[in-house]
Amino acid sequence: DKFGNAISGVTVVWTATRGTIGTPSTHTGSNGQAFTTFSLPGVPGQSSVTATATINSTVMTVIFTETGT
């Protein structure tokens, strides 16, 4: 939340520009963290993984970028 407290049970939707997301929709645990797996595609290049969560009508997005060689 806005005070830095963990919120459990929030749905996080994961998408990728390339590669494979293990579980495309997860929920935060009691520590406020959500996890999935990501596999880079079999060809070199940059891939982005986006995690999106909505809390009280506020959409939050984090983008992770990885490069396979």
Quote the distance between the C-alpha of residue 56 and its chain's center: 18
State the DSSP code for 13.
E
Average pLDDT of the residues in 34-39: 95
| Rounded distance between C-alpha atoms, residue 57 and residue 30, angstroms | 21
State the DSSP code for 3.
T
Whole-number average pLDDT of the chain: 93
Can you give the pTM of this predicted structure? 0.88
Cβ neighbourhood burial of 30 (10 Å; 0-12, 13-18, 19+): exposed
Give the count of alpha carbons within 13 A of 58, CB side only: 5
Look at 3 and 37; give whichever has higher pLDDT: 37
The single-letter code of the amino acid at 69 is T
